[in-house]
């Protein structure tokens, strides 16, 4: 479980680090060798886990987070984001 959270955080960090470096296509490969290619850095993010909401706010200040699971309540600004799920 901790490894999965670490991998998710690493993936998010890689996306945002790459997005800061360039505004063109972005390809990321995870530990299972799965590759995801985005035509451009993500402009809008919807996530489905409260801890991911916290990580996104820490990484990008929440500016790109437009949807989060209803249980996301930290940081306090997360409560104002449109809720999805449960």
Co-location of 47 and 84 in the same domain: yes
pLDDT, tens digit (0-9, with 9 covering 90-100), for 65-78: 999 999 999 999 99
Does this model's pTM top 0.85? My answer is: no
Residue 37's domain comprises 1-41
Co-location of 54 and 66 in the same domain: yes
Co-location of 36 and 51 in the same domain: no
pLDDT, tens digit (0-9, with 9 covering 90-100), for 7-29: 676 667 666 665 555 568 888 89
Mean residue pLDDT of the chain comes to: 82
Residue 23, pLDDT score: 66
Under DSSP, the state recorded for 56 is H
User: What is 25-79 written as a DSSP string?
Assistant: -EEEE-TT--EEEESS--S-EEES-HHHHHHHHHHHTTTTEEEEETT--SSGGGG
Co-location of 64 and 31 in the same domain: no
pLDDT, tens digit (0-9, with 9 covering 90-100), for 29-84: 988 999 999 888 788 999 899 999 999 999 877 888 999 999 999 999 999 999 98
Helix (H, G, I), strand (E, B) or coil at 51: helix
Please give the Cα distance from 29 to 54 (Å, whole number). 23
Co-location of 31 and 53 in the same domain: no
């Amino acid at each position: 479980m901790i490894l999965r959270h670490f991998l998710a955080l690493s993936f998010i960090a890689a996306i945002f680090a790459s997005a800061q470096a360039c505004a063109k296509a972005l390809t990321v490969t995870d530990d299972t060798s799965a590759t995801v290619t985005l035509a451009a850095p993500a402009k809008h993010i919807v996530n489905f886990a409260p801890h991911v909401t916290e990580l996104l706010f820490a990484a990008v200040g929440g500016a790109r987070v437009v949807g989060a699971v209803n249980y996301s309540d930290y940081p306090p600004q997360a409560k104002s984001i449109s809720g999805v799920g449960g």
